[in-house]
Structure 1
Amino acid sequence: MQQHRLCLVHAPAGSGKTTLLAQWHAALDAAGVNTVWYSSSETDRDPLGFADGLLQAVAASARRSGASIAPQEQTDTLTRLVTLMARCAALSPLALFVDDYHLAEAGDGGETIHSILAARIPQLTIILASRNRPSIPIGRLRVSGEILEVPVDDLFFDEVETQAFFEASSGLSLTAEQSRQMHSYTEGWPAGVRLASLVLGRLPGAFSVTPPTGSHRAFAEYFLEEVILGLPERVYRFLTRTSILDALNASLCDAVTGDTDGTEILSFLEEAQLFVVALPGSQRWHKYHHLFQEFLQARLYAESGNDLAELHSRAARWFIDNGSPMDAVRHAFLARRPDWAAEMIESYCLFDYLSHGRFEVFSRWMQQLPRDAQEERPLLLFLQVWRSINMRRFLQAEQTLRTITALASDRDSGISVIARETGLDIEGRLHLMRALIGAYGGDLAAGLDHIAALEGRTLDRLAFGQVDLDSIHSYLALQTGSLELAEKLTFRAKGIYDETAVHWGGLHSRSIAAMCYIARGLMRDADIIATDALQIARSHFGEHSYMVALPSVLLGLVAFDRGDFDKAEELWLRAMPAEANTDVSGLCERMLVATVGLARVYDATGRCDEATNLLVRASRRAYETEDFRLEFQLAIERADRCFRLGNPAEGLREWERLSLHLPEAQRRFPPSIWQVWEAYQVLKLRVLMERGQQEVALKSLVDVVERALREGRLLSAVQVHRLLATVSDVDLSVPAMQPHPELGRLTDIYLDITRIVDAPSTANRCRSISPDASGWGLTSREEEVLELMRWGLSNKEIGVRLAINLNTVKSHTRSLFHKLGVKSRTQAVLLAIEN
């Protein structure tokens, strides 16, 4: 087996996977191979839990073998796991057995196995048993002959093997027809064949009428008469009561049964081979054969006097006491105590959720909780708001906030009572969540208003309390150019997040700090802290998650500044969501920086058609998802790019379209939002220069430089200063700028494309493919109508905006539909975006 890096055994339940792995494990262990056994469970449905479990199993194996393992400095679980496995395998061949791997892969645990395989550790073999074919990439392993696959057909019996098994196990000689029928009944399923042979050995002809399924009466009779009868009453009670457990150990069994003989009975069951399997490892966990467990559960449910709710409650209490709150919540639900489940989620699982991003688990829990149980737990409601905001479902978030407001208005409601008992500031949190809606939803004016309402107010230290206020406030302070305040708040939040191991908060704070450093022109500091954030994200979140994307886009800026376009492109492509993904979570920077950055890389490397297509697709996504900030800033970039590429006519057309949305932008973005309005002022200068009216715009850009220097935003000051130096030959009293060795290619982003690319021919190719949207023959008024359609205005609202009557709007609409060859507003808008 050691010549293979990976062995796969994939087959349905009851196919003998665990038995086969146990036999391999015993054989390798006897041969002196260092073996590690890990049985996956429901708690491994996220990458972190799976990696943690593997790390503990490998460490325990290393200690048992007496290996001297040096302390590891890595903080992230996956890196520590890979390093420890490499050290163990360097001492002697290492075989890692993972049973029930499908449970781990269901939660994206495949990334953990993929990372271990990618490390190419010598003398390591991974053996996986799964009910499904694993989705990890194995093509290269197949080509190199480094994988051994045991498919389901190799585990199931054929007709000849079925006949031979019956004869060997029970002395029954089946005819060819009987063998065919039995194979058809059991489909070659080893567990079914084994039980069928046992039943037929005792009751010949038992399956002559109906086939042997898992619920067949003959199986129940076999278990009852051949297994249960004759057992001591206390053993039978133990079996039925512990059948509610997916895995068993003595302490857990004692907690569920209320007795103290768990160790003794488990040993007895193992020695008697009564359909209980001891799982390899030092923790002495067992599990029942699933058919036997189903039989025991049926007996438990049928017999009177069994309080199932109490049994599950005992299991839940044991899991809470032993640090497994996820299992505890599951048993609380099975105990039909949703109020208790809600209490445990709020008390034990919130920080775990926040730290590791177990979003899908939380969603399943919320679906199981009745409405009254949810509405008594204020933190659960605020968590739902946070999740809705993060998924850009702002109306849903606002609806939940209104529910909280209504419930809190009643001083005797459950939510009000709990808030008083815990010191939870509901009013402050309502402002906090609405500030977050403003930050994520692009209504920065509203976000700043709610932050102002919290001025001088200290929120509580519970989840979504003061630390999140500092985090959100720091982001909005960055948007307004208050870098010192943003840095102070984000580093204070970072300290609390790190102390409480809330990883998403810690990396978010690091990302905001990196944004501040980039604005200041401190690229080396930005590189260090964004790299730290990316390492945290990869250790605790999926590779394609927003948590990985955010630091990636910032590191892309650092790479672009250094002129490493390949690295920047790699990072930005990794951060871009899949085209089919409409739920793009997180801050606007995730999409904005990656999209604009990629377009500039494509332009700088002569792939201007790719840049054009990218900006069109991103603008379409922004329109479809109603992301006004992203769409407005992309519209500025598209127009500015036209001028940089030497296509002023199209730039002016883009400017006219953009101007239609200026009132909404002015409502959402106060003048202090420098990232929006500085780019807008640059574009305005280009437009006025094209019209011969640049004096006022030049003065406004001098003001931009002066303000940026006052606020410590060196990068903006240098970018605009360099632009002014290229477009004006008069003395504008621009502040003197000293060379800044940390700044590189980012200072060129406002310059003509010929100043960025290496070869003039590249710029000429870019100019030759610049888009021209006038090919449809639309009049200027029809273009205005179409643009207002893009922004969702009704015919009546379009008439008010353009000062024309409703019938005129309809006439223009019919005309442009005819010219575009479409039949609806949606078709017209999407066609306009694409072209």
Structure 2
Amino acid sequence: MVSSLSISCGVLVSQQTSLINRRLLPPRASHGVVNRPRLTMLSQMLTQHRLALVHAPAGSGKTTLLSQWHEALRESGVLAIWYSASEDDRDPLGFADGVIRAVEITVSSSGAAIPSLDQPDALARLVTILSERAAAGPIALFIDDYHLAEGGDGGETINRILSARVSQLTIVLASRHRPSIPIGRLRVSGEMIEVPVEDLRFNEAETENFFKLASSVSLTADESRQMLDYTEGWAAGLRLASLVLTRTPEALAISVPVGSHRAFAEYFLEEVILGLPEAVHTFLSKTSILDTLNASLCNAVTGRDDGNEMLSFLDEAQLFIAALPGTQRWYKYHHLFQEFLQARLYAEARADLSDLHSRAGQWFIENGSPMDAVRHAFLARRPDWAAELIEGYCLYDYLSHGRFETFSRWMQQLPREAREERPLLLFLQIWRSINLRRFPQAEQTLRTIEAAAADPGNRMSNIARSTGLDVAGRLHLMRALIGAYGGDLAAGLDHIRQLEGRELDQLAFGQVDLDSIHSYLAFHKGDLELAERLTWRANGIYDGMACHWGGIHSRCIAAMSYLARGWIGEAEHVIRDTLQVADRNFEQHSYMVALPSALLGIIVYNQGDLAQAERLWLLAIPSEKATDVSGLCERVLIATVGLARLYDMSGRSDEATALLVRASRRAYESEDFRLEFQLAVERADRLFRQGNAAEGRREWERLLLQLPEARRRYPTSSWQIWDPFAVVESRFLSEIGQTEAAVEGLKLVAQAARQQGRVSSELQIGRFIEQLEKAGPSDAGSEHPELKHLLDYYLNPLPTSMAQTVHNANIVRNAGAGMLTQREEDVLELLKWGLSNGDIARRLNINLNTVKTHTKNIFSKLGVKSRTQAVLKTMPND
């Protein structure tokens, strides 16, 4: 189950960041910005291209140009989105997540952010949001300082957006160097605009105009040429020179360094700093540690109360400080100026840096921005404090929004001793390991906690007592979770029994997760009433926290319980609502969408909609390339078994066999014993259903080899394991002439199901008993007409109504019989679902160009010109 904080966890646990996001709007244009039509007029061409790239060294005027373009497009009615990358965007998740926030805040007046999970989810979600919005009009996505993100996630994010070929979307990048994304094809095809450093350099006329606007000193034509020679048209160099000349006009006659921007900058920056009052100089040095500044934050860092006056002075003096838009007065230093100031600070006051960063971190905590506080705690070289801040303030954000990669990066930065003295951080690390099915790693961390907790006088034990953390209870809770995810239900239930009658603490991984995990294990035990009560109690807390992970899990457990009771209508209502939540907040192929999709597939299959059931089950099965298939076993099991049976019904037995083989191999390789065992049961059952008794017996014998381990892991009450096993066993007994024993065994299974209120199982097994006894159809199940085809789950052959449904499906599939090849039919099926060529290529594991060739052949053979025509032509006639 998902782990999360309860409402009462932490001082600021439910407090959202109160600061404006200072990276979602471009800096305001400063005084003296020259309009250079040869560059600014390019804004009129941006929406005609997929990519605009501005790459040049620091101080070349990239941000200024992008700001001018942004304003021009915004005034022309184009949706212009701005995002300034930072060092944080090197995190694999951070960049895509940050861009999503920029898009959402720009588009939505509410300013609500979209929760994001692991990197693939965030990337796909970003593409979806951009595609949906671009359908309403052109979009320009501006990303400043892109070089800060590219070393981490940025390259993949931009590649994914470009590969999606979103219509009416232009990406505008500013970077200190030419990015590594493949731009050659875009350049050749004329789909990009490129502005290199040579184009950003000021020419002679622009230099002369700049000094007229930016300083009180007017240069002659000769002096302009001289300044152009000094600066080589470098924007930052011109700005620096103007600052110096305003104070010391004769400085132009002094010989200055040439041929090196860095040397030139340092020369003039020294001149600028030397001309400032000592108080300003001190203020600049101390506040240079900040990415963005406001008066209150500056006062906290400097220990003074003149932050507002200082910032106003710097703004008016144009000392490389830019005001950020918004109602609050935030500023940022120009990168070049900040780097210069920091170099001086590090050289002059190395011992004071920790104190400055500590003050900044404390201010961010007090003002509701814990992520910034953690960053400054690390910069202050105070890992103990960083660990305390993460544990006390940041867990809600990661548990609710799934920012686990950021948490993992922080954990790697923490020294071992700082990490291992914080029990809540270790429990989060354990949960993450379990979710990724890294059970030995999770158990190793559990043993670390267990050993530390044995000493009541150590730091971890003291922290646990001071925070009210129930370490002993949580050890049982995490091991129950390992049992639930790892397929050892007996072990999971044993640890839940150890917690019987015990209320855990209300911190992360506390009582709400105990209810959630307990509900899942109670469902498997057959105590449906307890499962429903616990899961809905947990769901109320998850919903109150906007923790979508936990809410989806809880609703899915409730729906599984309703299906077991035969309450199809109630289950459908819950699952459709759950799937809407999942679709809004998670990527299409994520586990959180896959689980409710698998369950909804059961419902629409029961209704006879085979095409929809197939689509949902295909969506639930993880791709072949996925390395970590997280979550509950039901996600894969339901979809795989359902698809295999559907394929058999549709005359696609080869596909069913291949699907079961692939899934079984993957279960074996990933050491997922529960999935491996249940798929082995299904393979044996299938062979008997198909009348292949000899192979069925051999599969049964192989299954018996796994039986001792299965009996150890799964108590007799684990009905989802043993009901299907009892059916296979009865088929085997019937084959060897022991039908009476087979029937008697099944009657006991049906009786247990009836006692537990599992109507679906009782009726399904009752129907199968009738088939074994060769009795005529009875009225069993007539009181539950909503179960429809689910009542025939164990039967073979197909009932007449379902056979007719399959026949109609085959009519659609075989449209153009004798013309389409098998692969072309596969492509046609996926075209009907609305998949893109790229999605079809990934689904069928073939080349994109091959998909295009198959599509052309389909159009030609069917005599159509579009996808829509092909789909309509292959629809069955009523």
Using the size of structure 2 for normalisation, the TM-score is 0.73
2:132 is the alignment partner of 1:118: yes
Structure 1's 28 and 667: CA in aligned 2 closer, same or farther, altered over 3 A? Answer: closer
Q: Secondary structure at the match of 1:287?
A: strand
Report if the CA contact (8 A) 1:156-1:189 is conserved.
no
Letter in 2 for 1:135: N
Q: Distance in 2 between matches of 1:692 and 1:193?
A: 97
Deviates more, 1:659-668 or 1:378-387: 378-387
Report the counterpart of residue 564 of structure 2 in structure 1: 519
Q: Distance in 2 between matches of 1:358 and 1:704?
A: 45
CA shift for structure 1 position 337 = 0.9
CA shift for structure 1 position 2 = 11
Q: Distance in 2 between matches of 1:561 and 1:578?
A: 26
CA shift for structure 1 position 666 = 0.7
CA shift for structure 1 position 580 = 2.5
Q: 1:681-718: CA deviations, max 9, x gaps?
A: 11112222222222211121122222212212122222
Q: How does 1:53-452 map to 2 (within 5 A)?
A: 55-56=104-105, 78=114, 108=122, 111-112=125-126, 114-120=128-134, 122-123=136-137, 125-130=139-144, 131=146, 134-138=158-162, 147=170, 154-158=194-198, 206-208=257-259, 211-212=260-261, 216-225=262-271, 227-304=272-349, 307-452=352-497
Q: Distance in 2 between matches of 1:534 and 1:48?
A: 22
Structure 1's 263 and 698: CA in aligned 2 closer, same or farther, altered over 3 A? Answer: same
Report if the CA contact (8 A) 1:166-1:172 is conserved.
no
Report the counterpart of residue 540 of structure 2 in structure 1: 495
CA shift for structure 1 position 125 = 3.0
Report if the CA contact (8 A) 1:10-1:150 is conserved.
yes
Q: Distance in 1 between matches of 2:775 and 2:77?
A: 83
2:738 is the alignment partner of 1:680: no
2:734 is the alignment partner of 1:710: no
Q: Distance in 1 between matches of 2:121 and 2:242?
A: 38
Report if the CA contact (8 A) 1:604-1:753 is conserved.
no
Structure 1's 146 and 331: CA in aligned 2 closer, same or farther, altered over 3 A? Answer: closer
- Root-mean-square deviation (CA), in Å? 3.9
Report if the CA contact (8 A) 2:53-2:173 is conserved.
yes
Q: Distance in 2 between matches of 1:432 and 1:325?
A: 28
Q: Distance in 2 between matches of 1:526 and 1:236?
A: 68
2:763 is the alignment partner of 1:723: no
**Residue 654 (structure 2) aligned to one of 609, 613, 629:** 609
CA shift for structure 1 position 677 = 0.7
Structure 1's 621 and 347: CA in aligned 2 closer, same or farther, altered over 3 A? Answer: same
Q: 1:336-356: CA deviations, max 9, x gaps?
A: 111111111111112222111
Deviates more, 1:582-591 or 1:753-762: 753-762
Letter in 2 for 1:127: L
CA shift for structure 1 position 542 = 4.2
Report the counterpart of residue 576 of structure 1 in structure 2: 621
2:582 is the alignment partner of 1:531: no
Structure 1's 704 and 192: CA in aligned 2 closer, same or farther, altered over 3 A? Answer: farther
Structure 1's 604 and 290: CA in aligned 2 closer, same or farther, altered over 3 A? Answer: farther
- Structure 1 unaligned residues grouped into runs of 5+: 63-75, 82-103, 766-835
**Residue 63 (structure 2) aligned to one of 13, 18, 21:** 18
Report if the CA contact (8 A) 1:474-1:485 is conserved.
yes
2:690 is the alignment partner of 1:639: no
Structure 1's 757 and 278: CA in aligned 2 closer, same or farther, altered over 3 A? Answer: farther
Letter in 1 for 2:257: A
Report the counterpart of residue 737 of structure 2 in structure 1: 692
Q: Distance in 1 between matches of 2:700 and 2:237?
A: 73
**Residue 790 (structure 2) aligned to one of 739, 746, 764:** 746
CA shift for structure 1 position 109 = 5.8
Deviates more, 1:559-568 or 1:488-497: 559-568
Q: Distance in 1 between matches of 2:547 and 2:349?
A: 46
Structure 1's 266 and 573: CA in aligned 2 closer, same or farther, altered over 3 A? Answer: farther
Q: Distance in 2 between matches of 1:173 and 1:654?
A: 92
Report if the CA contact (8 A) 1:5-1:126 is conserved.
no
CA shift for structure 1 position 631 = 0.4
Report the counterpart of residue 91 of structure 1 in structure 2: none
Structure 1's 639 and 30: CA in aligned 2 closer, same or farther, altered over 3 A? Answer: closer
Report the counterpart of residue 780 of structure 1 in structure 2: none
Deviates more, 1:232-241 or 1:191-200: 191-200
Q: 1:646-688: CA deviations, max 9, x gaps?
A: 3222222211111111111111111111111111111112222
**Residue 471 (structure 1) aligned to one of 516, 532, 536:** 516
Q: Secondary structure at the match of 1:129?
A: strand
Report the counterpart of residue 45 of structure 1 in structure 2: 94
Q: 1:410-460: CA deviations, max 9, x gaps?
A: 110112112222222211111111111111111111111111111122212
Structure 1's 627 and 56: CA in aligned 2 closer, same or farther, altered over 3 A? Answer: same
CA shift for structure 1 position 498 = 2.2
CA shift for structure 1 position 568 = 2.5
Identity %: 56
Structure 1's 315 and 110: CA in aligned 2 closer, same or farther, altered over 3 A? Answer: farther
Report if the CA contact (8 A) 2:564-2:758 is conserved.
yes
CA shift for structure 1 position 17 = 4.2
Report the counterpart of residue 832 of structure 1 in structure 2: none
Q: RCO higher in 1 or 2 (8 Å CA, sep ≥ 6)?
A: 2
Deviates more, 1:431-440 or 1:112-121: 112-121
Q: Distance in 2 between matches of 1:737 and 1:105?
A: 47
Deviates more, 1:375-384 or 1:285-294: 285-294
Report the counterpart of residue 654 of structure 1 in structure 2: 699
Letter in 1 for 2:744: K
Q: Secondary structure at the match of 2:142?
A: strand
Q: Secondary structure at the match of 2:143?
A: strand
Structure 1's 460 and 146: CA in aligned 2 closer, same or farther, altered over 3 A? Answer: closer
Q: 1:446-489: CA deviations, max 9, x gaps?
A: 11111111112221222112221111111000001110010111
Report the counterpart of residue 72 of structure 1 in structure 2: none
Q: Secondary structure at the match of 2:662?
A: helix
Q: Secondary structure at the match of 1:278?
A: strand
Deviates more, 1:679-688 or 1:156-165: 156-165
Letter in 1 for 2:795: L
Report if the CA contact (8 A) 1:474-1:512 is conserved.
yes
Letter in 2 for 1:347: G
Letter in 2 for 1:533: T
Structure 1's 203 and 361: CA in aligned 2 closer, same or farther, altered over 3 A? Answer: farther
CA shift for structure 1 position 750 = 1.8
Aligned residues: 715
Report the counterpart of residue 796 of structure 1 in structure 2: none
Letter in 1 for 2:721: V
Letter in 2 for 1:491: W
CA shift for structure 1 position 149 = 6.2
Report if the CA contact (8 A) 1:4-1:148 is conserved.
no
Structure 1's 6 and 257: CA in aligned 2 closer, same or farther, altered over 3 A? Answer: farther
